[in-house]
Structure 1
Amino acid sequence: MSRPSRREMRELAVDREKCAARCERNAESARQAASDPALTDNMRKQAAATIPIALRHAQEYREEAEALRDGRIPGEDW
């Protein structure tokens, strides 16, 4: 597989930023569900458990976007 061009890497970085934003929206939705008294205790606990996962994914997407903008392939330098 050939290395992506700089233009392709910029496009991938934009996509990763969109993914990060989506994860943050998911975390916010989970926060709301976790505090919704209309939901069962179990549903609120499950929602609360997803918050840190969604936020971690958002951070990972942002790190990938940064690497791509810097001209690096995410994970390539490990």
Structure 2
Amino acid sequence: MSRREMNELADDRDKCAARSARNAASAKAAANDPTLSENMRRQAAATVPIALRHAQEYREEAEALRDGRIPGEDW
């Protein structure tokens, strides 16, 4: 993989991280929305940590790519 391709993939991973962070915020809002059923609020609350973890993983992948490493190969 060329350096340019790695940087492009890192940019994509940053976009994915931002999307996951937005999803976490949306789920948090839904979890606190009194107009939703209790079941829907519980489901939304359960997705918050998952979306936040995904955002962190995407950020870590972007950092690895920018450092010239292939994510997962150094674990």
The TM-score bracket by the shorter chain reads over 0.9
Q: CA RMSD in A?
A: 0.4
For 1:31, the equivalent position in structure 2 comes to 28
Q: Deviations over 1:21-68 (max 9, x none)?
A: 000000000011000000000000000000000000000000000000
2:14 aligned residue (7, 13, 17): 17
Aligned partner letter, 1:69: R
Percent of paired sites with the same residue: 80
1:77 Cα deviation after fit: 1.1
TM-score between both structures, scaled by the size of structure 1: 0.95
Structure 1 gap ranges (5+) = none
Once residues 67 and 26 of structure 1 are traced to their aligned partners in structure 2, the CA distance between those partners, rounded to angstroms, is 23
Aligned counterpart, 1:73: 70
**Runs of 4 or more above 6 Å deviation:** none
For 1:26 and 1:50, the matched residues in 2 are separated by 9
How many matched pairs?
75
TM-score normalized by the length of structure 2? 0.99
Provide the rounded CA distance (Å) in 1 between the counterparts of 2:58 and 2:34: 32
Measure, in 2, the Cα distance between the counterparts of 1:74 and 1:32: 32
